[in-house]
Amino acid sequence: MDMTEDGRFETLHGWGLEVAVTDPNSIRKTSTVPESMLRGKCPRMLDGGKR
């Protein structure tokens, strides 16, 4: 790989670091945690399956 030295997040550099962390549109700066991960249930289960 040309974005890390050893395949680990800690050694990201160049375009890999930019895409994942430093760019204003990076994964880190634009991603959100789904409600299902925060609550441990999918949305359909949260409303009793009324969708």
pLDDT value, residue 32: 93
CB 16 within 8 A of CB 3: yes
**DSSP letter (8 states) at residue 41:** S
Per-residue pLDDT of the chain (51 residues; tens, 9 = 90+): 689 999 998 999 999 999 999 999 999 999 998 888 888 776 665 555 565
pLDDT value, residue 29: 95
Cβ partners under 8 Å of residue 4, min gap 6 = 11, 12, 13, 16
Residue that the structure tokens 């999918």 belong to: 42
pLDDT value, residue 23: 97
Q: How far apart are CA 44 and CA 49, in angstroms?
A: 5
**DSSP letter (8 states) at residue 26:** S
pLDDT value, residue 26: 96
